[in-house]
């Protein structure tokens, strides 16, 4: 790799560390190409990405970023899984690790917070942003239905009362 290419890789990784919600670091030694391709496609479908880069370049990219604390994890064959949503990358990585014992989660970073493997697992158990939005919409719609029924019931009773009074006045 030439010097210019290395600069581009470091610049791209610096952008990743500065602009993503979460970064997961894992060892992938022993994974087949098809397994790695599956991980990449699963991550892409969920809205995240997987990147394999030289540890030295990753450490250079980490300098001066909030995720600087994970530089100690950069030993051996490591890959980075990242996403804007703080739950997406951990959820996909943990699910993939359960099916592949050669994929070992080392830790990660969420902003300036350094996570160990248990921390990444805890993030993976949280509902995703889309799931939270769905629950919120459900909560907002449920009371609205009750309010509409509550308002319409007295309105129909009032209509009966007015029609009853109106019929008496007419008679």
Please give the pLDDT value at position 144: 58
From CA 63, how far away is CA 19, in angstroms rounded?
15
Query: Helix count (H) and strand count (E) of the chain?
Result: 6, 5
Please give the pLDDT value at position 116: 93
Please give the pLDDT value at position 170: 46
From CA 42, how far away is CA 110, in angstroms rounded?
21
Q: In angstroms, what CA-CA distances link 145 with 27, 67, 114, 133, 136?
A: 50, 45, 44, 19, 15
Q: How far is CA 153 from the centre of its chain?
A: 43
pLDDT tens digits for the chain (171 residues)?
788 898 999 999 999 898 898 999 999 999 999 999 999 999 999 999 999 999 999 999 998 888 888 999 999 999 999 999 889 999 999 999 999 999 999 999 998 899 999 999 998 988 877 788 888 888 777 765 555 555 555 666 556 555 555 544 444
Burial of 40 (0-12, 13-18, 19+ CB in 10 A): middle
């Amino acid at each position: 790799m030439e010097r210019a290419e290395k600069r581009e890789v470091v610049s791209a990784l610096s952008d990743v560390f500065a602009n993503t919600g979460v970064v997961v670091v894992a060892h992938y030694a022993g994974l087949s190409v098809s397994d790695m391709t599956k991980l990449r496609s699963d991550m892409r479908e969920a809205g995240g990405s997987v990147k394999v880069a030289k540890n030295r370049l990753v450490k250079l990219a980490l300098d001066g970023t909030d995720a600087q604390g994970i530089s100690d994890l950069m030993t051996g064959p490591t890959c980075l899984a990242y996403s804007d949503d703080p739950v997406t990358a951990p959820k996909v990585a943990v699910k993939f690790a359960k099916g592949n014992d050669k994929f070992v989660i080392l830790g990660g970073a969420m902003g300036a917070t350094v996570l160990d493997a248990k921390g990444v697992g805890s993030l993976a158990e949280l509902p995703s942003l889309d799931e939270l939005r769905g629950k919120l919409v459900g909560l907002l719609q449920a009371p609205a239905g009750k309010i509409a029924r509550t308002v319409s019931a007295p309105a129909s009773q009032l209509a009966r009362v007015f029609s009853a009074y109106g019929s008496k006045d007419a008679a």
